Amino acid sequence: MPFVTSEQMILDAQKGGYAVGAFNVENLEMVMAVLAAAEELNAPVMMQTTPSTVKYAGLDLYYGTILAAAKNSKVPVALHLDHGSNFELAMKALRVGYTSIMIDGSHHSFEENIEMTKKVVDACAPSHIPVEAELGKVGGKEDDLDGGMGGYTDPLEAKEFVERTGVSSLAVAIGTAHGFYEGTPKLDLDRLSEIKKVVSIPLVLHGASGLSDEAIKESIRRGICKVNFATELRASYTQGIKKVLSEDPNTIDPKKYGMAGMESVKQLVMDRMKVCGCDNKAK
């Protein structure tokens, strides 16, 4: 199946009361693992790359790798730029062929965020590529992204932001953080419900690695339609490799420990897809 944009799959999730799982991939093995999980569960899936991942290997290489993996897939696959840091990077991803773009202006002022986001939305509109933005600041650190202590999304600001930018989906800050949590996160789910009342577009949850299954499910019940997973995939892949090398330190064939990393990621992704409720939702 050729690439699809993220717009319809997320709108379907909004209508159906589930969320699409969006998974950050770093290499060939993680791409293969995420796709294998999606196919086994008949789930729509989004694969994502961050600016630091793009810096590591380039937009062209990730696009080509994921396109090759997805073109014979039985399930819809969208390729998403996660936390696009500036207009130039967003446009490069658009030109390469990414089918979903995030522009993250959450580190800027409210007005600057609106200006940056609308500029990307307007540029992507002729190609019918959906744009995700972030309002409020998801805390924690992942790659080169440092959200510090974070900052909650204000519902009335969210309403104005969506109306003025025309963005397709909105990542909201309700107490989640990038990376692994220290202690138990306390999510402001009532705030999420208030945002849902005044914002009609699909809402996105970042920083889901380490959240309990129930916290994710409750967030979905209150309006989340896309859930991002990144840090725990890296940890799972690395643990799979470590297990092989600890059992046989003389292993030199990358395929052997790569397969272990893949299987570990696949099982994790399948679990997360079931939590999101997107299994058997591929169209």
Distance CA 203, CA 169 (A): 6
Tell me if 228 sits within 8 A of 205, measured CB to CB: yes
Is residue 208 a known part of a binding site? yes
Is residue 229 a known part of a binding site? yes
Is residue 194 a known part of a binding site? no
Distance CA 194, CA 236 (A): 35
Work out whether the CA dihedral 154, 155, 157, 162 comes out positive or negative. positive
Is residue 42 a known part of a binding site? no
Which ranges of the chain would DSSP assign to H, the alpha helix? 6-16, 28-41, 51-57, 59-70, 87-96, 110-124, 155-165, 189-198, 213-221, 231-247, 254-276
| Catalytic pick among 82, 143, 154, 279 | 82
Is residue 107 a known part of a binding site? no
Check residue 234 and report its DSSP letter. Answer: H
Catalytic residue status for 271: no
Is residue 215 a known part of a binding site? no
Which ranges of 99-180 would DSSP assign to H, the alpha helix? 110-124, 155-165
Is residue 209 a known part of a binding site? yes
Is residue 247 a known part of a binding site? no
Check residue 125 and report its DSSP letter. Answer: G
Check residue 4 and report its DSSP letter. Answer: -
Single-letter code of the amino acid located at 250 = N
Is residue 80 a known part of a binding site? no
Which residue numbers belong to the known binding site for dihydroxyacetone phosphate?
Answer: 179, 207-209, 228-231
Which residue numbers belong to the known binding site?
Answer: 83, 104, 134, 178-179, 206-209, 228-231
Tell me the catalytic residues: 82
Which residue numbers belong to the known binding site for Zn(2+)?
Answer: 83, 104, 134, 178, 206
